[in-house]
Structure formats: structure tokens, C-alpha cells
């Protein structure tokens, strides 16, 4: 994909006309005075970084359980890598970098312990009560569950940050009001009823670059962690022509390079090629649509920031490789099954004996609730757990705890 280097925003302070404007934000649910030193999007990003939910990400699984080793990505290090890529894309396209970074930093707040395994297990036990969705849980955290301010629950983020959190992967409703990916989770529809997030439109371009940055980050870094773990080999990467080409390029330039440096040289190139591909695609859409505002981007009926057709093929090939060689590896599947058992056990026990949560805040809220609301509160408590806390809690409450090694 060809990039228009003259349109890039490197070193340019002025935002593009189609960027979100922090000085004309649609505001917050609870009105607050503006800051004389920071834009509203800067304040959103800062609030996100200072949350308990952000700190908990350091002990939540990305792919490999923390006990597997110190050098594997956690949900926190993945989040920081996504934010870096999102900010780079935003700067190149002359967007608001703080909004793009904020959406990237908050996008995984709702993830459970043990990665997608924990999410699947929690969804299964909560299915009779509306199910579980990590994106909806992220919204609950920043609008309800974080208890930091005297005047409101949550963080009271701007409309643009909340919109980006909820819609960074595209509209949730079609033109007929039907869910684009199934029913819209209840926490999202409930919140949007009082603070309309316009679920049928696309999000800002800042949110879109945060979404594609997530794909770029885990496509690259799951390969890195896979090679480190031994679940992937360089020979396996040859099955993806794009990766095979990168390896030849590095080998030709640095013959005999040690494996660790070889991997990093390849990963650097992979990120760069994917980022440049997205920039070229976004520029093409911008030239065609000629948006004059962030709202023009939202109403254009398309995603501006995505892979080209050629890179989309590569993206699918990489995901297939990761799925077959890592995510569905028998060793990983055994660990997934054991992790799911921990989450399921804790849910049922807390539903029967909520005092075992050992938290006056949670117990005071839950003891007199009807079963539907009770299940949601238990789900909130479990979703907030780190891997280490979930394992320690299971060991405290059960005679046997499954092995996650």
C-alpha cells in the first residue's frame, strides 16, 4: 500500500480537520470544569492509567499464564504495546494522539483472569443472567465499578472515549436496530440509554486506529512469545509467505544472526509493514471520502483504518498459524480447561456463600439482591480478579486446585 508521505503528521502539531477535537468534546455524563493545563482527552487518558483496573492488568494472562515465565506478555504489557502502535498511527494521520492512546489503554479493562479462557468460562455460568462480554465489562468498570471520585461512580470519561471503548471494532447496531454481532450486551444498552453512544455509527478514527493496533500487536507479539515458548519454530513461520519473506530479508542482511536478535529484527519489520499498510489504506479512504469533521468519519459508513486486501490475507494466515500451533496446542488446552475450572468453581461458591469474597464493599452490595443482580455482582468480582488472586482464592476455598503449569 502506497503512503502519501506529504500528508503524514510527523512533527506536525496541528490536528487534521477530521480528527476528534478535545476542545469541542461532547462532554461528560456528569459536568466538570475544564482543566487549564490538560485537554479533556489528556485527562481521560490520565484517569485510565491511575485506575485499579489498569494496575490489575499486570497479573492477567495474555496467552501464557504468568507462572510460565517473566518474559511473556501480560495483559498490561500487551496494552502498553497497543497504545504505542495506536499513538504512532494517530500521529501519522494527524489525529488526537491522547484519545487514540486512551482508547488503547482502556480496551482490555474488562478481561477476566486467564485471558479468553476465563471470559468463556464466566460467560457460560452467566449465560442465564445475560452472559458476559469483556467489552461491556470495560464499560461497567469505567462508568460504575471504579470508586475513586466523591461525586460519581466510575471515571466520568468523555463521550468520545466511551464511544471509542464500545465501538472501536465497528457499529454495534445496523440500520434496522439489530445487533451487528448478535444482541448488544445489556450493560452497553443500559448505559447508552442515558448517555447515547450512537451504537449504529462507526467510532472516531482515533478509536479505529486503536482497534487495528490491537491486531498488529498481538499478531506480532504472540509469534514472539510462541517462539520463546517453543510452541512455534522458524520452520512453522515459513507457512505464511509474508513471514517467510521477512525471515529471508533478515537472514540476507544479517547472516548467522543469533536467534533472539533474529526474532526481534523480524518482529520490528512485521510491525512496520503492518503499520504502514494501515496508514496507506486510511489515507486512501480519507482522499475518497474527504471528511470535514470527526462526525463525517462516523457517518461515512465504512472503516477507514484497516488492512489492505493483501495484508488482510496475511492477517488471516497469521491468526490461523497462532490458532493451530498455540491456542489449540494440547498443553495450552489442558491449562485452559484447568483455568476454566477455577473460574467456574469460584462463581458457584460465591453465589452460595458471598461472604467468602472477603470484601465488605462487595458483600454489603450483594447480600440482599435478587439472583439476577447477585450473579452480575459476582461476575464483576470474578472479572476483576488477577490470575494470581484467582488461584490463591481457589486454594483457600477448595481442597484441590487445578495445576496451571
Q: Domain coordinates of the chain in residue numbers?
A: 38-405
Report which of 89, 85, 97, 82 is spatially closest to residue 13, judged by C-alpha positions.
97
For cell 496507506, what's the residue? 280
- Please tell me the predicted confidence (pLDDT) of residue 13: 63
- Please tell me the predicted confidence (pLDDT) of residue 366: 77
Contact 168, 34 (CB under 8 A): no
Quick one: fold of 38-405?
Hypothetical protein af1432 (1.10.3210)
Q: Is the dihedral of CA 106, 109, 115, 121 positive or negative?
A: negative
Report which of 65, 102, 6, 136 is spatially closest to residue 340, judged by C-alpha positions.
65
Helix runs in 93-151, H state only:
97-106, 115-126, 134-140
Contact 90, 100 (CB under 8 A): yes
At 250-286, the pLDDT tens digits run 999 999 999 999 999 999 999 999 999 999 999 999 9
pTM of the model: 0.93
At 203-257, the pLDDT tens digits run 999 999 999 999 999 999 999 999 988 999 999 999 999 999 999 999 999 999 9
Residue 179, helix vs strand vs coil: strand
As separate numbers, helices (DSSP H) first and strands (DSSP E) second, the chain gives 18, 0
| Cβ count within 10 A of residue 28 | 19
Strand partners, 158: 28
Report which of 256, 253, 251, 254 is spatially closest to residue 238, judged by C-alpha positions.
251
- Please tell me the predicted confidence (pLDDT) of residue 368: 78
CA atoms of 206 and 49, how far apart (whole Å): 18
DSSP assignment of 20-66: --GGG---BSS--PPPSSS-HHHHHHHHHHTSHHHHHGGGSBSSS-G
Question: In 33-70, which positions are buried (b, 16+ CB within 10 angstroms) versus exposed (e)?
Answer: eeeeeebbbbbbbebbeebebbebbebbbbbbbbebee
Three cell numbers written together for 149: 471520585
CA atoms of 85 and 63, how far apart (whole Å): 20
Helix runs in 239-329, H state only:
241-253, 259-289, 294-298, 309-322
Contact 288, 192 (CB under 8 A): no
- Please tell me the predicted confidence (pLDDT) of residue 162: 98
CA atoms of 98 and 260, how far apart (whole Å): 33
- Please tell me the predicted confidence (pLDDT) of residue 149: 95
- Please tell me the predicted confidence (pLDDT) of residue 328: 87
Report, as ranges of residue numbers, the positions in the chain whose pLDDT lies below 70: 1-13, 63-71, 360-365
Dmax (CA) for the chain in angstroms is: 68
Residue 178, helix vs strand vs coil: coil
- Please tell me the predicted confidence (pLDDT) of residue 14: 86
CA torsion 171-173-174-176 (nearest 10°) is -160
Strand partners, 182: 180
Local structure of residue 185 (DSSP, 8 states): P
Residue 28, helix vs strand vs coil: strand
Amino acid at each position: 500500500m502506497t503512503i502519501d508521505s506529504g500528508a503524514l503528521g510527523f512533527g506536525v502539531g496541528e490536528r487534521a480537520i477530521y480528527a476528534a477535537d478535545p476542545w469541542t468534546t461532547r462532554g461528560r455524563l456528569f459536568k466538570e470544569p475544564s482543566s487549564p493545563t490538560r485537554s479533556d482527552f489528556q485527562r481521560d487518558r490520565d484517569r485510565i492509567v491511575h485506575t485499579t483496573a489498569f494496575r490489575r492488568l499486570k497479573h492477567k494472562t495474555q496467552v501464557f499464564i504468568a507462572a510460565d515465565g517473566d518474559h511473556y506478555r501480560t495483559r498490561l504489557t500487551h496494552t502498553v504495546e497497543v497504545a504505542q502502535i495506536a499513538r504512532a498511527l494517530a500521529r501519522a494521520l494527524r489525529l488526537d494522539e491522547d484519545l487514540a492512546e486512551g482508547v488503547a489503554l482502556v480496551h482490555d479493562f474488562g478481561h477476566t483472569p486467564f485471558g479468553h479462557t476465563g471470559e468463556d468460562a464466566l460467560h457460560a455460568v452467566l449465560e442465564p443472567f445475560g452472559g458476559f462480554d469483556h467489552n461491556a465489562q470495560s464499560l461497567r468498570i469505567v462508568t460504575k465499578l471504579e470508586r475513586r471520585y466523591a461525586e460519581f461512580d466510575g471515571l466520568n470519561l468523555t463521550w468520545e472515549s466511551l464511544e471509542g471503548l464500545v465501538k472501536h471494532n465497528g457499529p454495534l447496531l445496523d440500520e434496522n436496530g439489530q445487533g451487528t454481532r448478535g444482541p448488544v450486551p445489556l450493560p452497553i444498552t443500559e448505559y447508552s440509554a442515558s448517555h447515547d453512544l450512537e451504537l449504529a455509527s462507526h467510532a472516531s478514527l482515533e478509536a479505529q486506529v486503536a482497534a487495528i493496533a490491537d491486531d498488529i500487536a498481538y499478531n506480532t507479539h504472540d509469534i514472539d512469545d510462541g517462539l520463546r515458548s517453543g510452541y512455534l519454530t522458524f520452520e512453522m513461520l515459513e507457512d505464511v509467505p509474508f513471514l517467510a519473506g521477512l525471515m529471508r530479508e533478515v537472514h540476507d542482511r544479517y547472516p548467522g544472526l543469533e536467534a533472539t536478535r533474529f526474532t526481534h529484527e523480524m518482529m520490528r519489520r512485521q510491525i512496520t509493514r503492518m503499520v504502514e499498510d494501515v496508514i496507506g489504506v486510511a489515507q486512501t479512504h480519507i482522499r475518497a471520502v474527504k471528511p470535514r469533521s470527526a462526525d463525517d468519519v462516523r457517518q461515512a459508513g465504512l472503516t477507514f483504518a484497516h488492512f489492505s486486501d493483501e495484508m488482510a490475507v496475511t492477517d488471516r494466515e497469521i491468526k490461523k498459524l497462532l490458532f493451530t500451533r498455540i491456542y489449540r496446542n494440547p498443553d495450552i488446552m489442558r491449562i485452559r480447561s484447568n483455568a476454566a475450572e477455577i473460574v467456574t468453581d469460584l462463581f458457584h461458591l460465591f453465589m452460595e456463600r458471598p461472604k467468602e469474597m472477603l470484601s465488605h464493599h462487595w458483600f454489603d452490595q450483594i447480600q440482599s439482591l435478587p439472583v439476577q443482580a447477585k450473579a452480575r455482582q459476582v461476575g464483576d468480582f470474578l472479572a476483576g480478579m488477577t490470575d494470581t488472586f484467582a488461584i490463591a482464592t481457589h486454594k483457600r476455598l477448595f481442597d484441590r486446585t487445578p495445576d496451571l503449569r
